[in-house]
Amino acid sequence: MEVTNDKGMPMPSELKRLVHFASLEKVLNMARAHSIWPLGFGLACCAIEALMGTNGPRYDLSRFGYEVMRPTPRQADVMVVAGTITTKSAPFVLRLWEQMAEPKWCIAVGSCAISGGPFVDSYFVVPGARQIIPVDVYVPGCPPRPDAIIDGFLKLRAKILDPKVVEL
């Protein structure tokens, strides 16, 4: 089932800059890569692992400085889509994504967020976050272990530091 979306997403949001210095951008990317603040936003089971488990004492995402869970999209850098997106929740996931301030990234955690996962056949499930928002890193699993999620974060870090890693 396609998500009701009038503007025809997925569509990479176009970044504009007033001034652009490539070297400054490099420095800033370095800062960005080490300070990815996730939007404290969990949809389903995966959220327990992705948002709580990784922040828990054992896996401690804070070591990388990524633990600053922001409750509002304005301050968040990465949207961790952890869980099933349903037809009902898709509009607000999209809205949250759109309300996030640039630059922003998205990690899809778990089968559900990648493709609808176990519920892909259901009448009420959106088959994956990529149907509505551009995803940067996919972390398969159901739910993935917190280690795997940290790995996803590190992959995102690599991508921010050097956007070319994706093109291999």
Partner 1 sequence: MEKKISEIISELKEKFPQIKTSEETISVSTEDLLGLMQELKNSFGFNYLTNLTAADYPADAKGKGDGNEDEDDGEMEIVYNLTSVYEKLYLTVKARVSRKNPEIPSVFPVWGGANWQEREVYDLFGIVFTDHPNLKRILLTDNFEGYPLRKDYQWVGGRK
Partner 2 sequence: MLENLFTNIAGLLRNLLDSAGVPPLWNDVTLLVVKLVAILVFILINALWLVLMERKVAGYMQARIGPNRVGPWGLLQTTCDIGKLISKEIPIPKSADKILFLLAPALVFVPPLMIFAAIPFGKDMVALDLNIGLFYVFALASLTTIIFWMGGWGSNNKYSLLGSMRVVAQMVSYELPMILSVLGVIMLVGSMNLTEIIAAQQNMWFIVTQPIAFLIFFIAAVAECNRTPFDLVEGESEIINGPYTEYGGMGFAMFFLAEYASIMIISAMATTIFLGGWLAPFGLTFIPSWLWFFLKMYVLIFVVMWFRWTFPRIRVDQLMGFGWKILVPLSLANVFVTGIGMYIYRAIGW
Partner 3 sequence: MLRTETYTMNFGPQHPATHGVFQVVLTLDGEKIVKAEPVCGYLHRGIEKLAESRTYQQVIPYTDRMDYLASMLQNWGYVMAVEKLMGLEVPERAEYLRVISGELSRLASHVLATGVYALDVGGFTGFLLCFRERERMMDLLEELTGSRMTFSYARFGGVADDAPEGWLEKLDKLMDDMPGYIDEYDGLITGNEIFQARTKQVGGLSPETAIDYSLSGPVLRGSGINYDLRKAKPYSIYDRFDFEVPVGKNGDCFDRYFCRVREMRQSVRIIKQAIEQIKEIDGPIKGKVPKALKPPKGDAYAEIESSKGILGFYVVSDGTNKPHRVHVRRPSFINLGYLDEMSRGWLIADLVAILGSIDIVLGEVDC
Q: Residue 135's closest CA among 97, 108, 155?
A: 108
Examine residue 111 and tell whether it contacts ligand SF4 (CB under 6 A).
yes
21 binds partner 2 (CB under 8 A): no
Establish if 83 lies at the interface with partner 1 (CB under 8 A): no
Instruction: Evaluate whether 77 touches 32 at the Cβ level (below 8 Å).
Output: yes
Distance from C-alpha of 164 to C-alpha of 168, rounded to nearest angstrom: 8
Asked if 39 contacts 78 with a C-beta cutoff of 8 angstroms, the reply is yes
Among 31, 2, 9, 12, smallest CA distance to 166 is for 12
From the list partner 1, partner 3, ligand SF4, none, which binds 10 (C-beta under 5 to 8 Å, kind-based)? none
Task: Determine, following the binding rule CB under 8 A, whether residue 131 of this chain makes contact with partner 3.
Answer: no
Pattern of binders to partner 2 over 63-92, x per CB under 8 A?
Answer: xxx-xx-xxx-xx-x---------------
Q: Which residues contact partner 1 by CB under 8 A?
A: 1, 87-88, 115-116, 120-128
